[in-house]
Structure 1
């Protein structure tokens, strides 16, 4: 059991790191492609498209199904943890947002969307962020802080980890941000940098 748990934690760590890198590099690819394209403008990745991606090691959405929906990925990479290989595919469309999906054995096990435009009624402050507590649901967090600018979800060995990232509408120093980690439906951690 401990060996399986360490493999799961290792894979989650790799997926979180590679999807963040994949999305940020995908965004820069997208902006250079957009500046060179003629009149063809692509709409961004929608939350509906993101939400339709099913994560499951045995029955998750396939790469072929996503290619039918989104077209050819902008970039691809591969990572291996012990004996498990994860293929990361990134789509960059429109201005600002990108989608990275990790596949294992042909099935989606992680998905990350970033660059979501959010209009907040109230700025997120250190005090309002401090109201987020372990055990709360994702809906509770969204009611307090609003929609996130990025969502990263991974499902491996029956454990689902979602990280909500907040980068706009914050009261704080330049580059301030906040993240909330949700494990199997309940807040399991939070962190912030530069909030006031």
Structure 2
């Protein structure tokens, strides 16, 4: 099944399939057996739509195993550059205290360089970052200078790296890569798409 969150799938597959179901039955309370019967009919209608309009779906898996953090920590020049950029962006009123929010925001700004998702995007990774901040005794509002702030961030990243290395996190996504093909003949003439599945039944 292609991702139901995709607007093309909703407009061209799911909505037309729903319209094939009896409208009067959809508005009435249904028994358990009645519900499953309607669900079966809906899935059958969706399958028919997909047979008529095959859709290519790309399956992507992003591993967060700490390797990106390790590369950043191993590259002193790049690490120093990122840390300097983060320090410049710290509001003046927070430059003498390491609040938890300030530390988390700083780690978030380093996410791209460390191959980490933005904070809030992957709950499992957020939990790892929060635990690393806690283990580093960061965010208690103690006074820190620039050198101590950068050292603290480096220690937190090191802990994140170790935790992800021990327990990697894998995030899978399914994405419709282009509009459905016109038919089976088009499928045979189309170039293969790497790491993709054709949803046709």
TM range (shorter): under 0.3
> Which is higher, the Rg of structure 1 or of structure 2?
2
Report the TM-score when normalising by structure 1.
Answer: 0.25
Higher relative contact order (CA 8 A, sep 6+): 2
Higher helix share: 2
Higher strand share: 1
Report the TM-score when normalising by structure 2.
Answer: 0.25
